[in-house]
Structure 1
Amino acid sequence: MTDTALIVVDIQNDYFEGGRWTLDKMDQASDNAARVLAHARKTGAMIAHIHHEIPSDEAPFFQPGTKGAEIHPKVAPQPGEEVILKHEPNSFLNTRLQDTLSSRGITKVVIVGAMSQMCVDATTRAASDLGYKVTVVHDACAARDTEFDGVAVPAAQVHASFMSALDGTYASVVDCESYLTSA
C-alpha cells in the first residue's frame, strides 16, 4: 500500500477545444496528466478524479448533466478509482476528499489538472494547509487568459505566476519528465 494519492482536478470537456471555457495548452496538459495517471496506476497510488459541476442554469461551464461537465476521455476513471464531485474551487471543501485520503493513510498528494489559477491553486493550498506533502506537475496543468483592472494577462503568464507562488511554499512544482523519472 502506498502513502501517495494522485488528485486529477477538473480535466473536463468544457476546458477543451469546442468546450464552453477553453484553456490554453489543455491538450498538452491533459496528455501529461494522462502520463502521470498511467504511472499512478502502475505504482498502485490512490487516484482521485475531481469532477466539478456548477449547479446553476447561468453557469458559464460545467453545468450538471452536460457533455462539457463530463471528465475527458484522456483521463477517464477506471473501476475502483475515486470520483469526487465538488461545487467549489477547493477540492476539499464540502467533499469527501479529506476523509478518503485519511482513511487510506495518504500523506503525499500529486496534483494535476485545471485551472492553474483557480482549482489547482485552491486545492494545492488546502492540501498543504491540511499537512500533506504536495507535488504539482506544472505541465500537466492548464490556465486561461484573464484580465484584471483593464490589464489583459495571457494564460502563460497566469500559469507561471500561480506556479511560482505555489512552488516552495505550498508544493514542490515539477515538470512531467522530472516527476516520472524521480517518482
Structure 2
Amino acid sequence: MMRISHFCLRVVLAASIGLFAPEFMTTSAWADTDGGNKTIVFVCLHGVVNSQMAAAYFNKAASERGLPYRAVSRGIDPYSSIPVPIRDGLALDGLDPTNAPGVLTPADANNAGRLLAFDAVPAELKGNASVTYWSGVPLGINDYDAARDAILQRIDELISTLAME
C-alpha cells in the first residue's frame, strides 16, 4: 500500500510539472541558439482565448513537423485566467494552454520571430516589430469550433512558410 501512494505521488508530481512548467517559460527561453529567434507570439485582446488557442495548436503542428519554432500567447489587456470553455476545447484535442496570461511587452514583440495578432496592437506595445493581423477569425469563446478551424487553416499556411525558411 505504501508503494501505491508513492507511485501516485510521483504521477501527480510529474503531471503537475508538465501542466505548470510552460506557464513559467518566457519567450527568451525559446530563442534559437544560432542567433535567429524561433518564437512566434500570438496576441489577442485578453491573451486568454484566440491567442491561447493559436499558440497551443501552433506548437502541436510545429512539433509534429519537426520545426524548431515555439509559440506563446500574450494579451493587450490580459485577463488573469483562461476561460473554462477554452481549456475544455483544447483538452478535447489533447492540448493544454501554452502559458499563463500575460501582457505583450515591447521586448516580447521585438524578440519575436513573428508577431501575429487577432486584435489591434497599440504602438507602445509592439516596439519595432511588424505585426501580421489574422482578421476575420471568430472569437473562440463564442464559437470554439469555428475559431479553431479558422486558426488551424492559418497555422497550416504559416507552417508551410516557416518550413521553407
User: What TM-score, normalized to structure 2?
Assistant: 0.40
Bigger helix fraction: 2
Bigger strand fraction: 1
User: What TM-score, normalized to structure 1?
Assistant: 0.37
- When Rg is computed on C-alpha atoms for both structures, the one with the higher figure is 2
